[in-house]
Amino acid sequence: MFSLLRSRTSARLCSRLQTRRVGSSAEPPRPQRNVIGTFTPASAALFVSVGVGLVWYFRNEKAKLLEQREKERMSKSYGRPHVGGPFSLVNCSAPDKRFTHEDLVGKWSLIYFGFTNCPDICPAELDKVTAVLNEIGTTNSEIPLQPIFISVDPARDTPGTIQKYLVDFHPSFIGLVGDYQETKSVCKAYRVYFSTPSDADPKGDYLVDHSIFVYLMDPEGRFVEAFGQVAQKDEIVDKVRQYVLAMTRE
C-alpha cells in the first residue's frame, strides 16, 4: 500500500515538472537584427557609380600604357620613328585616279586607318578628327589640313562604300582603298597592324583588328606624330598649332 502511494505521488510530481518546463519554454520570438544594414536606392546608385568609374579609369589607364609602350618600342627600334613612304591607292572620290604619297606634299595631313564596318572605334576617331578640323578651320584657317581615311578592309570597302561612309564626317575627308597587297604595303610603311585575311569573303560578317592612331604628316609628307585613342581633340589641336608654328620659324 505504501509502495503504491509513493508511486502515484512520484507520477504526479513528474507530471507537474513537465507542465512547468513546457510552460517556461514558450517565450515570444526575439526580433533578428539586420547585420548587413539597409541597402537603399541611394547606396545602390553610389555603388554602381563607383563601379563604373573604376572600370572607366582602369580601361583609360590601360589604353594610355599600351600607347606609351608602342611609342617607346618604335623609338628604341628606329630612333625617330620612320613612318610613311611611297604608296599608291584609289581615290574614292575619283576612282579613275590614284592618290599617292606625292599628294601629301603642300598640306598638313591627318591620316587614319580603319574600315567602314567598324561598330564604334572608327566612328569615334573620325568624329574626333572632324572636331579637330572644325576647330582649326575656325581659328587657324590659314593652316592647310587634309584628313585622309585609308581602308584596311579591301574585301568589303569599295570606293562607293567608303564615299557613303565618309558623308557622316568632315566633307574634306579623302577616302583611299587598294587591293590586299597595296593595303598591306601602305600599312607596313605606316607601321599599322591589321588582321584582314587575303581571302576574306566580301559578304562575310567579321571585324578587323587594327592599330588605332591618327598620323600627323607635315607638308613635305614626313611623319610628325601619332595620336592614340586616348588623345583628346584639344590636345591634337594644340599639337598641330605647335608644329605648324615651329616649322614656320625654321
101 labeled part of a ligand binding site? no
Asked if 162 contacts 177 with a C-beta cutoff of 8 angstroms, the reply is yes
Q: Is residue 122 part of an annotated ligand binding site?
A: yes
Containing 175, the helix (H) or strand (E) segment is strand 174-177
Residue 118 is labelled as binding a ligand: yes
Which helix (H) or strand (E) covers residue 112, if one does? Answer: strand 108-114
DSSP 48: H
Residue pair 126/169 in contact (Cβ under 8 Å)? The answer is yes
**N-to-C CA span, the chain:** 134
Contact 127, 170 (CB under 8 A): no
C-alpha cell at 152: 584596311
Sign of the CA dihedral running 78, 79, 81, 85: negative
Helices 121-139, 233-249: axis angle to 10 degrees equals 50
Rounded-to-10 torsion of CA 9, 15, 17, 21: 180
Under a CB-based contact definition with an 8 Å cutoff, are residues 164 and 65 in contact? no
- The binding site for Cu cation consists of 118, 122, 210
- The binding site consists of 118, 122, 210
